[in-house]
Structure 1
Amino acid sequence: MDRKKDQLQTIRDYVFELFHNDATGHDYYHMERVARMAKTIAEKEGADSFICETAAWLHDIGDKKLFTNPEQARNEMDDILTKIEIDRNSIELIYEAIKDVSFSKGKTPATLAGEIVQDADRLDAIGAIGISRVFAYGGTKEQLIYHDENPENTSIQHFYDKLLKLKNLMNTPTAIKIAQERHAFMEAYLDQFFREWKD
């Protein structure tokens, strides 16, 4: 048990070094929240919490939105996991859990661990924090908050393109329940946003 705790601490430190200065909403604290949520869901759904938590910490490493050299980032991740003596079978399970997490891939992961990490990541994209992350990311891309004549290329449009769809794309009963409240909060936020926009 202590060994796994030490391994997770090394992974946390590694992730902190990579993401602590990120301003897009994919920062260290995003990884921390996703890891914590993945562990919680894993415990409720009877999955391997170590695999789920580790995969959640690492799920954005190699993402082409965040890394100029994704392959190099993934190779460095592999070196770290090998160095801290996570066995190769567990490493492969971690990679399998990460593989299809991304919304843009449009896939349901093949394993329960993958479903859990995907759920945890998607839960962090909705609700109050999800709203904050939309505008953080939009700001880094010089995207307008909203525009009456050209709404398609705005941060508000992202709610309709992705975030409002996530409630119905959750995999596990635990995540489905959590998503209901966060989805309702986003709907209330958008109602208020458009009331204020038109005042």
Structure 2
Amino acid sequence: MLAIKINSLEILEKVCHDFMSQQIVHDTAHDINHIKRVVKNATIIAEAEKADLWVVKAAAWLHDCVTFAKNDPRNSTSSHLAAKKAVEFLSINGFPEHKLESVFHAVEAHSYSANITTKTLEAEVVQDADRLDGLGAVGIARCFAVSGKLGSKIYHWDDPFCETRTPNSKTSAIDHFYEKLFKTADSMKTKHGKLLAKHRVEFMEAYLNQLGLEID
């Protein structure tokens, strides 16, 4: 017998919220607040792009139901394991069966490190929504939170903005901007996602300009 029958988007969100609130969190960059922001971003983009909200919301809520620390060798497998866990959870709770395959793909393909090609609009929306959270004011905060936990410096003293060297986020938080974050902005798939990313990158560039003035 099903504990809850997911027969509306409101019930879907409540069930997923309760489920995700109980998951193991390795850092504040992937906590329940991150999940809520990704759901918000995904909903905004999905409505603009006319994507399937059932698939998008389910995948956005559950995309990090399995996570590993950034320095864990299993990190690149997390999205595949999350996709399996998400589908199992949704199936038990009566989520429409014909949408499960789409949710699986959207969860599995959201990950930057997994490098899986998105094959559906819904997967593009969820991937964009997750990557959007790595940009802008929130993205800067997340970057420093994770870098601090890993013991990285704020910036490389000799060349803080990677003008003459290859960026290495293992040694400097600012390096992560150049090693990954700006690249994720360039990888956005949807028209609305690209627009939102552009505004956030402009804020990050302004931040780096101010940082340069303060440390010069």
TM range (shorter): 0.7 to 0.9
> Percent sequence identity over matched residues?
35
Aligned pairs (5 A) from 1:19-38 = 22-38=26-42
SS at match of 1:106: coil
Uncovered stretches (5+) of structure 1, i.e. residues with no partner: none
Aligned partner letter, 1:184: E
TM-score when normalising by structure 1: 0.88
Deviations 1:104-128 (A, max 9, x none): 2334411100000011011111000
Aligned partner letter, 1:148: W
* Aligned equivalents of 1:2, 1:85: Cα separation in 2: 8
More helix by share: 1
CA 1:101–1:139 in 2, change beyond 3 Å: closer, same or farther? same
CA 1:101–1:180 in 2, change beyond 3 Å: closer, same or farther? same
Most deviating of 158-167 and 124-133: 158-167
TM-score when normalising by structure 2: 0.81
Aligned partner letter, 1:190: L
Matched, 1:65 2:82: no
Aligned pairs (5 A) from 1:177-192 = 177-192=195-210
Aligned pairs (5 A) from 1:12-161 = 12-18=17-23, 22-65=26-69, 76-149=85-158, 152=168, 153-161=171-179
> Any runs of at least 4 consecutive aligned residues in structure 1 with deviations exceeding 6 A, and if so which?
66-69
CA 1:72–1:113 in 2, change beyond 3 Å: closer, same or farther? closer
Report how far residue 8 of structure 1 moved.
Answer: 1.9
Aligned pairs (5 A) from 1:167-182 = 167-182=185-200
Uncovered stretches (5+) of structure 2, i.e. residues with no partner: 1-5, 161-167
Structure 2 residue aligned with 1:194: 212
Report how far residue 24 of structure 1 moved.
Answer: 3.5
Most deviating of 59-68 and 123-132: 59-68
Structure 2 residue aligned with 1:11: 16
* Aligned equivalents of 1:141, 1:52: Cα separation in 2: 32
* Aligned equivalents of 2:58, 2:130: Cα separation in 1: 13
Report how far residue 64 of structure 1 moved.
Answer: 3.6
SS at match of 2:69: coil
Deviations 1:68-112 (A, max 9, x none): 895876655343212210133212110111122112233441110
Aligned partner letter, 1:154: S
CA 1:132–1:47 in 2, change beyond 3 Å: closer, same or farther? same
* Aligned equivalents of 1:110, 1:175: Cα separation in 2: 16
Report how far residue 163 of structure 1 moved.
Answer: 1.1
Most deviating of 21-30 and 92-101: 21-30
Query: Alpha carbon RMSD of aligned pairs, Å?
Result: 2.5
Report how far residue 57 of structure 1 moved.
Answer: 1.0
* Aligned equivalents of 2:26, 2:40: Cα separation in 1: 19
